[in-house]
Chains A and B, each alone.
Chain A
């Protein structure tokens, strides 16, 4: 069954509207970008439970917190940049600290948003959100897991941060894929090294694995949809069984998926880890997101390069 690529934010909006029909406690807050975040899909059907708070993200986060104290299940959406940095202290102190049942679902993650440029390219959110206690941090890769993640967090009692991309992404899974919070999905088997990717980088990782296979390198690919709590077991198994890891994320190489993996590996089973991501720099606008990603070494070619580098270093060590 092949389905056309679609943006995860579109799936989020659709799923949210479906959930709204089932659960009258769900309310949605938005900060004047409903057409982008896709919360309009909920707002059109349930105008009485949809609150567009305008361009006032800090207020929105605390209003969501207050609503949660009254038994509502608020979903608060805006761009990742504003949810994670503009309003990060509100998220920390008014939502995460009292462990209120607020779902922050932020869209337009990473450099892939291209055209809008640096002010909108969030590459720090995973680092920030991961450092906040009580937060569940999700970054699904494809439309199916985005739908399941949205449904799952509606049932979960506690604060959640979920980042979604802007661009269309291909379906990686069938509808009945096993998705469990905190458990990576093994998308491809392999013993030579492991690529752990998150968000749309899982697609790049699969492409990279294909190229590596032609070169005789068998890469395992893990879809890390839950950044926190990180799947320690899967990482340790990857380190033990494959001996080298490349991480791939549309996020800074500091503090995000790569950081989380290194924290686990360094303690439990030290092996070389190479981090592919935004290399501690501000990027730029771009007209074509794929070209922009390639320009900043944020694509499958870079994963291949880093994987080969790890393999050659390992050979040198073995010799």
Chain B
């Protein structure tokens, strides 16, 4: 008999599993990747303190800790459906159907694709694929690359590619269209970069931010944005160039670009071709919540969290009895925060399962506070208005699901 099935062995899932198991529950973790760690195993960046965040080390630590707590981890197993039968959840996987009273869905995030002409050529990949090939599989993705799309994820991975000795020549924007959305509007991009300007991956933008905090400065900033770009870690960031097409016959040979005005409209007659042997498309991240969706959990669109998220409380419960969520499925944030959310979910499940005695309420309380603290200190933040997005979700939860019992716990959490 399994008490808890955790879907996803990323930081959120592993931390949740460890917390559940240490409270005396029997836990199984399922992940479709060949080894545990989730997106952690691709991560490498420097914190504001100067310390390095080494995702491989972190994931090994979590893995060892989970094994010590007798968590059963199954790698290389996909979950394709999730539904409830009376009191038990049925988790349908590629090795058969497993059942348990509690499920923690910690399936992480996926990348927004930005289709453009030529994106099916070999050598075009998402920025996340470049990260996995470089840091996980240790495969050189190419010699000379171009990144299409300017966001925090792109900068973080640019840095990782450079550390691996891979040359990225330029960062340009996608062409403005319904498919690229805000990612193709220079002013919007500038705004989101400036909001994140205090964060680690963009030392240059950090300098500029003081001068560019209001709209007028932003507009003139865009109008006078140097054609040759500004350098991010030595790579020119060209906010006034749009990628029209990836060109090549058998594989990527380059990107056709054009100048744009401050609003992202193409200026005719300005086309040039930048040579490249690989292209990364960086569309940003959204919560991967497909299993919560098939389970029947209601959703809310909260752009500040990255897209559609399953309804959930601050203690990570969903409106469906026994179903909990943690990590990027609840909104896009860094690995550290995902891990801390996993701990909340773990305590929350233990509490529902009647484990942990009287201490559990205080532990749950502390774990919620810890997430607030980590969020304030975060060195990397993908969505600048994350705090208000979180608030929106918890307010909605209060409105829709709060009952006397829940209000009671909320008060204590204060």
The reply to whether chain A is a binding partner of chain B is no
